[in-house]
């Protein structure tokens, strides 16, 4: 037999193959892809709590799922845990699988804490589901059952455009003194980090927009409800693990995952943004599940080539809680009163400023004083007219809004700052403090609006930045081209 030497080139090829992201469409599975309209829609059903002993409730749940699928026409159905929770489990999984097969929808599953309290283990559930039409889940190679990745191809099928991560959040911990619910394990986090890095490397070092689905919320869900980016209801405490292994930090650090979607807490359905990562609940689906929220689903619409998505809750009563990421508010203009713009015929680019000196504790301390200096400036930047300490500025003029819509404005400052639009204090970031960011949302008509920015510095660091975001624009500094003064 002739022997062939293993060349450096062959070794390199082997390494590349072994290092490539592992998750691809399985045999006989059609790959997920964006449609011709460059959107990809997901219906998240969660906490069905199928119980064959309460047949009427199960039929109502199936009817609801049919209704939502008929209305929304999702490209993928995702079941996020506590789906079939009473034996015999196979019958419940069969009925749900038959429904999804009827519509020809691909479907994915992550398991909840109750799914293996039946006569089927987690492994047995996935083995059975693998036999059902349209199921795209995989067991995975790390802790738990059901850790896998599904790329979503571009509409021309030439490249991956988005990623969907599915992660097993397990059930209950056996350790004493560390709470009740289990947590995502370190090897799962490492698996995610490695796979995310490989997909990013494949995409010219640019993270692909991604979503992650699991059942039990992470501890960070406690921190987003009261933020200005939060929309929806919180009617019970977050039932997370007591220990935080760092899954959320890994998502934020890797930079691909835009949002996580969970179930578990049946009367929570809110979404909010935590350090750039949206944390979202689904809408409980099952008529056997506790709580008085209406049964329904969360709908998620991805956009090809954009790090953005729209999401809303769908029930028998219709749509609610419309939300755009990364804007963090509704993507619809319904129900908002828009501030009227004004006509300015002699607008000149830039702003007027007044400069003050003194030991101030608030922007209110100096505005009635005589300024030491006045003039014009391109934008409200203290860097350009910097003084050492104990000073204040008022910048006034007009801001030109490019399109009618909702806008989130912020001031980030050290020390205090305020932002007024149309004579309303929109952002109050006043007082002596270190570097601090405060934001607020308003609805504005296209055109000119009056604007006033107040800032003061005590001692120590000095900083002022004004920024905005909207449905069509990720957060950035307000460009100087938006500011005007009138002769």
What is the per-residue DSSP string for 34-69?
--TTSEEEEEEEB---B-TTSHHHHHHHHHHHHHHH
Number of H helices, E strands in the chain: 6, 25
CATH 2.60.120.1560 domain locations along the chain: 347-486
Helix (H) or strand (E) holding 88: none
| Rounded Cα gap, residues 360 and 222, in angstroms | 36
* CA distance linking residue 300 with residue 313, whole number of Å: 9
Rounded to whole angstroms, the Cα distance separating 373 from 105 reads 68
The pairing of strands 347-349 and 148-153 is unpaired
List of residues 6+ apart from 393 with CB closer than 8 A: 353, 354, 355, 356, 380, 382, 385, 453, 454, 455, 456
So what's the pLDDT on residue 387?
56
Residue 24 confidence (pLDDT)? 46
Q: CA 242, CA 222: separation in Å to the nearest integer? A: 12
The CATH code of domain 347-486 reads 2.60.120.1560
Q: Is there a contact between 183 and 169 (Cβ–Cβ < 8 Å)? A: yes
Give the predicted TM-score (pTM) of the model: 0.85
Domain(s) labelled CATH 3.60.21.10 in the chain stretch across 28-325
Confidence (pLDDT) at 382: 84
Tokens at residue 379, please?
Answer: 């934008």
Interacting residues of 88 by C-beta distance below 8 A, sequence separation 6+ = 52, 118, 119
Q: What is the pLDDT along the chain (487 residues), one digit of tens a residue?
A: 343 344 444 344 334 444 445 544 454 568 999 999 999 999 999 999 999 999 999 999 999 999 999 999 999 999 999 999 999 999 999 999 999 999 999 999 999 999 999 999 999 999 999 999 999 999 999 999 999 999 999 999 999 999 999 999 999 999 999 999 999 999 999 999 999 999 999 999 999 999 999 999 999 999 999 988 999 999 999 999 999 999 999 999 999 999 999 999 999 999 999 999 999 999 999 999 999 999 999 999 999 999 999 999 999 999 999 999 999 989 987 778 999 999 999 999 999 999 999 999 999 999 889 999 999 999 998 865 555 789 999 999 999 999 999 999 999 999 999 999 999 999 999 999 999 999 999 999 999 999 999 999 998 888 999 999 988 888 899 999 999 999 8
Burial 272-298 (b: 16+ CB within 10 A, else e): bbbeebbbbbbbbbbbbbeeebebbbb
Query: CB under 8 Å to 430, separation ≥6 — which residues?
Result: 362, 363, 364, 416, 417, 418, 454
Assign domain 28-325 to its CATH superfamily: Metallo-dependent phosphatases (3.60.21.10)
Instruction: Write the CB contacts of 333 (distance below 8 Å, at least 6 apart in sequence).
Output: 404, 405, 406, 443
Query: What separation, in Å, do the N-terminal and C-terminal C-alpha atoms of the chain show?
Result: 92
pLDDT value, residue 368: 87
Sign of the torsion formed by the C-alpha atoms of 252, 256, 258 and 262 = negative
Other CB atoms within a 10 A radius of the CB of residue 359 amount to 11
């Amino acid at each position: 037999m002739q022997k062939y030497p293993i060349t450096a080139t062959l070794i390199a090829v082997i390494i590349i193959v072994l290092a490539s992201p592992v998750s691809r469409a399985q045999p006989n599975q059609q790959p997920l892809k964006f449609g011709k309209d460059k959107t990809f829609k997901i219906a998240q059903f969660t906490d069905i709590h199928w119980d064959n002993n309460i047949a009427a409730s199960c039929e109502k749940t199936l009817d609801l799922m049919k209704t939502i699928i008929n209305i929304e026409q999702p490209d993928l159905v995702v079941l996020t845990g506590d789906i079939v929770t009473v034996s015999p489990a196979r019958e419940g999984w069969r009925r749900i699988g038959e429904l999804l097969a009827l519509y020809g929808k691909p479907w994915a599953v992550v398991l909840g804490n109750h799914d293996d309290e039946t006569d089927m283990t987690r492994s047995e559930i996935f083995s059975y589901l693998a036999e059902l039409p349209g199921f795209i889940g995989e067991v995975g190679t790390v802790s738990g059952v059901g850790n896998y990745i599904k790329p979503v191809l571009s509409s021309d099928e030439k490249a991956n455009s988005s990623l969907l991560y599915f992660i097993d959040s397990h059930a209950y911990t056996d350790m004493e003194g560390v709470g009740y619910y289990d947590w995502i394990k370190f090897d799962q986090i490492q698996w995610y980090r490695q796979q995310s890095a490989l997909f990013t490397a494949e995409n010219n070092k640019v993270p692909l927009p991604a979503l992650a689905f699991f059942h039990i919320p992470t501890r960070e869900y406690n921190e987003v409800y009261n933020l200005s980016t939060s929309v929806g209801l919180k009617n019970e405490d977050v039932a997370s693990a007591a220990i935080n292994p760092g899954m959320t930090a890994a998502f934020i650090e890797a930079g691909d995952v835009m949002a996580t979607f969970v179930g578990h807490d049946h009367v929570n359905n809110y979404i909010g943004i935590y350090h750039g990562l949206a944390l979202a609940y689904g809408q409980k689906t099952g008529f056997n599940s506790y709580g008085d929220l209406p049964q329904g689903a969360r709908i998620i619409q991805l956009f090809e080539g954009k790090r953005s998505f729209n999401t809303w809750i769908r029930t028998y009563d219709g749509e609610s809680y419309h939300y755009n990421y990364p804007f963090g508010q509704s993507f619809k203009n319904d129900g908002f009163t828009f501030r009227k713009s004004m006509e300015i015929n002699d607008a000149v680019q830039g702003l007027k400023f007044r400069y003050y000196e003194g030991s101030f504790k608030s922007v209110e301390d100096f505005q009635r004083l005589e300024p030491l200096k006045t003039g014009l400036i391109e934008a409200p930047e203290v860097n350009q007219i910097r003084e050492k300490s104990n000073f204040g500025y008022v910048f006034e003029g007009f801001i030109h809004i490019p399109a009618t819509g909702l806008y989130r404005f912020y001031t980030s400052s050290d020390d205090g700052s305020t932002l007024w639009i149309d004579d309303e204090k929109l952002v109050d970031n006043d007082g002596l403090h270190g570097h601090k960011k405060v934001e607020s949302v308003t609805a504005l008509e296209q055109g000119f609006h009056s604007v006033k920015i107040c800032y003061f510095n005590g001692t120590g660091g000095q900083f002022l930045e004004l920024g905005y975001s909207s449905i069509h624009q990720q957060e950035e500094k307000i460009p100087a081209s938006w500011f005007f003064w009138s002769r």
